[in-house]
Amino acid sequence: MRVLLLPVGDETYAVELTALRSVVGDPQVFVIPTAPPAVLGALNLRGEIVALLDTARILGVGTLGALGFAAVVDHPYGTVALAAEGRPQTAVLGQPVAAGDLHGAVGSFAVGSAVVTLVDPAVLVVPAAP
């Protein structure tokens, strides 16, 4: 399975390339004053306004350090962008090494000599309960 690797802190997360719409380097983010803490703001992607999410916060592993890139993914509720600190790269997932223990994590997989956690944006990002 081909994925996009998203560096977040000391960890690397991955999303399937089939869900990926675009990668934006050094995105210009517009603050949304009443947004929840997991929403860093919004960006304009060729005329479409897309919510930019703090990937670390929605995974429950802290908060994002410096914003470097945004991976724009299709989601059942619309398009969203996941923030990454470092430059995303494509890779092919190797063997599974562990089950996913984070909300939205499918599992951990070998990529070369590293281990990355595959996330499912459809599970990771859910609407807030009314």
- Give the tens place of pLDDT for each residue, 61-98: 999 988 999 999 988 888 999 999 999 999 999 889 99
**Beta-bridge mates of residue 14:** 5, 118
Give the integer Cα–Cα distance in Å for 116 and 107: 8
Surface-to-core class of residue 68, CB atoms within 10 Å of its CB (0-12 exposed, 13-18 middle, 19+ buried): middle
Mean pLDDT of 13-31: 94
Give the integer Cα–Cα distance in Å for 104 and 100: 8
Residue 42: predicted pLDDT: 96
Q: Where do we find the tokens 């944006």?
A: 121
Instruction: Indicate the residue type of 28.
Output: Q
* pTM, 2 dp: 0.91
Buried b (16+ CB within 10 A) or exposed e, 28-53: ebeeeeeeeebbbbbbebeeeebbbb
CATH superfamily of 2-124: CheA-289, Domain 4 (2.40.50.180)
Q: Are 38 and 32 in contact (CB under 8 A)?
A: no
Residue 77: predicted pLDDT: 81
